[in-house]
Amino acid sequence: MLTSLPYLLSQAQKFHYAVGAFNVYNLETVQAVIAAAEKMKSPIVIQTSEAAIEYAGMENLGALVHLMAKKSKVPIVFHLDHGKDEKLVVEAIKSGWYGSVMFDGSALPLKENLASTKRLVKLAHSKGVAVEAELGAIAGIEDFVSVKEREALLTDPKQAADFVRETGCDALAIAIGTKHGAYKFHGDCQLDSQRLQEIHKSVKIPLVLHGASGVPANVKNLAIKFGAKIGEAKGVSDSAIKKAISLGICKINIDTDLRIAFLAGLHEFIEKNPKNLDPRAFLSAGKDLVSKTVEQKMRLFGSAKKR
Ligand code: G3H
Ligand code: 13P
Ligand code: ZN
Residues 96-119 have pLDDT tens digits of: 999 999 999 999 999 999 999 999
pLDDT of residue 112: 98
**Per-chain residues with Cβ under 5 A from ion ligand 3:** 210, 253
Q: What pLDDT sits at residue 71?
A: 96
Query: Residue 181 CA: which ligand 1 atom is closest?
Result: 4
Centre of ligand 2 to C-alpha 291, Å, is 17
What's the CA-to-centroid distance between 51 and ligand 3, angstroms? 12
Confidence grade of residue 1 (pLDDT, cut at 50, 70, 90)? very high
Reported as a single tens digit per residue, the pLDDT across 282-291 is: 999 999 999 9
Which of 81, 104, 179, 256 is the pocket-test mutation for ligand 1 (most atoms within 8 Å of CB)?
81
pLDDT of res. 141: 81
pLDDT at 152: 84
- Enzyme catalytic residues: 81
pTM of the model: 0.97
**For the stretch 106-141, what's the b/e string if a residue is b when 16 or more beta carbons lie within 10 angstroms of its beta carbon?**
beeeeeebbebbbebbeebeeeebbbbbbbbbbbbb
- The confidence score (pLDDT) of residue 23 equals 98
Name the band, by pLDDT with cuts 50, 70 and 90, for residue 145: confident
Average confidence score pLDDT of the chain: 97
Confidence at residue 144, expressed as pLDDT on a 0 to 100 scale = 84
- Give the span between the Cα atoms of 51 and 240, in whole angstroms: 28
Which residue has the least CA distance to atom 5 on ligand 1?
Answer: 49
Q: Can you tell me the mean pLDDT for 154-168?
A: 97
How far is the centre of ligand 1, averaged over its atoms, from the C-alpha of 51 (Å)? Answer: 7
Residue 139 clears pLDDT 90, i.e. is over it: no
Closest ligand 1 atom to the C-alpha of 256?
A: 4
